[in-house]
Structure 1
Amino acid sequence: MIYRLVQIARKNSSVYRVLQRTMATESSKFREMYPDIEPYDTGMLKVSDIHQVYYEQSGNKNGNPVIFLHGGPGGGTSARDRTFFDPNVYRIVLMDQRGAGKSLPAAELKENTTWNLVADVEKLREKLGIEKWVVFGGSWGSTLSLAYAETHPDRVKALILRGIFTLRRRELIWFYQDGASFIFPDAYEEYIKPIPEVERCDLIGAYYRRLTGSDEKVQLECAKAWSKWELKTSKLYVDDSYVARAEADIWALQFARIECHYFVNGGFFERDDQLLANVDKIRHIPTTIVQGRYDLVCPMETAWKLHRAFPEAEFHIIADAGHSNKEPGTQSKLLDACDKYKNL
């Protein structure tokens, strides 16, 4: 579309100059991430007889504490996650949740629930001697951020939430059963391939039986198919280099096994809409919500419901974005939000 507009505008020099200025102005709104940094502290926190979780700290040792809660569940953190935050101001804490990333044992499902993770975040806060912190979470990270904040509202300075996911049944059906398949039928065909047709009426259940079964070859095949489905649909435009992440055996097993485990258990919530129903507990907390209009993984209906239940929160719809936090408009708005709260 932009190419066609440029071709038309070139026939009129004055229109072309206006278009050039408009495009330059729009592109200047997109922000680059903060520079890469290395942690000044890393460690493993023993949170149960089974689990140890990896954590790290970077940025300003005496700065405003912020914790980054990754997606999935099972996705793990990356070096890029540190760079949403001004390292001169923020004390940046990253944690790999149970079974994810560098945490041990990898892909372990025992003693791995939402409430275990909420307790782990609080245990880490106490270990690091932090009174209150900013909490940043996208996708499943937004789920965990809401669950943590609703459990410990007195420990949260501000919330930065992206790609809102509350793990309601209708959200799971949309993405893993029937909904996003209408937009990505080609990728969906690959996603359902490992599952016999007779079992496709409940794809999450069928995947769970295989991902927790004894056949390691089947486990890995299903883990990669599950992971590729999510990665292919995460951006407005499919990013093949991003999808290639699913080829890593351990990462795919962590991602698919842990996600499926949480989904068949309804997020371990007492009721389907628990996070939305309890939002009154956090409406006093400064909050920014960033949502891609064309997010297929965590469709905008959920973000809209959160916005309606929590009108005090700053709410941003990114008109030309899907699910990923790497898309320019989403990335820029998240950086703005992090800057907004850096002096709390």
Structure 2
Amino acid sequence: MQILYPEIKPYARHNLPVDEVHTLYVEESGSTDGIPVLFIHGGPGGGCSGQDRRFFDPEKYRIILFDQRGAGRSTPHAELKDNTTPHLIQDIEAIRTHLNVEKWVLFGGSWGSTLSLLYAQAHPETVLGMVLRGIFLCRDKDLHWFYQAGADRIFPDYWKDFIAPIPEAERGDLMAAFYKRLTDSNEIAKMAAAKAWSIWEGRCATLRPNPEVVNDFADPHKAVSLARIEAHYFMNQIFVAPNQILDNMDRLQGIPATIVHGRYDMVCPLDNALALHDNWPDAKLHIIRDAGHASREPSIVDALVRATDELAHELSGDGDQSS
């Protein structure tokens, strides 16, 4: 079984202003003349970690990480103003231009798979290949499953803690109830809602209970940005047209891609990946039989590292892809 590559440190860090409000944290590690790969984190609002550099062979890849608007080390933290999917797509292009990258690989999981697909459909000429995990199509039924009715029947004990901050009279529309509190000036209510929202996601993300994952999601800094920005996006149908991803899959023809999805993914159920693959038959689909949603699960790590190694081998004949 493949494991993560050893820990590495960035050789460059950038604070990239993208408008009058937002400044993005961007970093580079690995090989300066390697195949450029952009890691697109989940959430939205999740931010990156040092582990995210380790899915790639540092001798073959120029590894680029960034924190999306309002997330991680980008500023201002948890900011919702001018924070939409079209803005994020523009930001990715700004990063590509700033780093003098002609074409790159996209690597994204969960919301990162959503944003990778939307960016690639907008700018297919810039994409060398894609590795996607835990596909999240952000359809109404996907949001309803996790935030209203569906996953609550799998994790009824965790669900009780999730809905605890919401009065019973408001539980008919939990998304709206959480959004109200997450955007309110009452800091105590905001933090209670944020932690309940984020911990629910962390508890459901792995097939086997993983305190390390739950503790990561419980961190107040991450919980606030994750909960606020996710609720903001989900209340606004992620700022794209209904079924936009599946309707535009023809734009990705010819781009090599691997899809990795855990069979027991309770955050983004497997039908997300199957629906994508039905509309993208050229992509390789790997259903991981002993995993849920999180990128840290051993079998998911194995599949993702194999996918990036295989893609590096396929692209190695193209030489240096950066300008």
TM-score interval for Structure 1 and Structure 2 normalised by the shorter chain: over 0.9
2:118 maps to amino acid: A
Aligned to 2:40: 69
How much has 1:53 moved relative to structure 2? 0.4
Post-superposition Cα deviations, 1:184-212, rounded to whole Å, max 9, x if no partner, equal 00000110010011111110110000000
Question: Which has the higher Rg, Structure 1 or Structure 2?
Answer: 1
CA distance in 1, matches of 2:257, 2:217: 32
The count of corresponding residues between Structure 1 and Structure 2 is 314
Residue 176 (1) aligns with residue 147 (2)? yes
How much has 1:341 moved relative to structure 2? 1.3
In 2, are the aligned partners of 1:150 and 1:281 still within 8 Å (CA)? yes
| 3-state SS, counterpart of residue 26 of structure 2 | strand
Residue 104 (1) aligns with residue 75 (2)? yes
Alignment of 1:42-191 (within 5 A): 42-191=13-162
Aligned to 2:310: 340
Aligned to 2:230: 259
Aligned to 1:243: 214
Counterpart of 1:275 (choices 242, 245, 249) is 245
In 2, are the aligned partners of 1:283 and 1:313 still within 8 Å (CA)? no
Counterpart of 2:277 (choices 293, 307, 310) is 307
How much has 1:251 moved relative to structure 2? 1.3
Of all paired residues, the percent bearing the same amino acid is 51
| 3-state SS, counterpart of residue 200 of structure 1 | helix
TM-score by length of 1: 0.90
CA distance in 2, matches of 1:242, 1:158: 29
2:189 maps to amino acid: V
Counterpart of 2:173 (choices 202, 205, 228) is 202
CA distance in 2, matches of 1:283, 1:246: 36
In 2, are the aligned partners of 1:89 and 1:342 still within 8 Å (CA)? yes
RMSD (Å) for aligned C-alpha atoms: 0.7
1:273 maps to amino acid: N
1:119 maps to amino acid: Q
How much has 1:283 moved relative to structure 2? 2.3
Unpaired runs of 5+ residues, structure 2, are 316-323
Unpaired runs of 5+ residues, structure 1, are 1-29
Q: Which has the higher contact order (CA 8 A, sep 6+)?
A: 2
How much has 1:31 moved relative to structure 2? 1.2
1:81 maps to amino acid: D
CA distance in 1, matches of 2:61, 2:216: 29
| 3-state SS, counterpart of residue 341 of structure 1 | helix
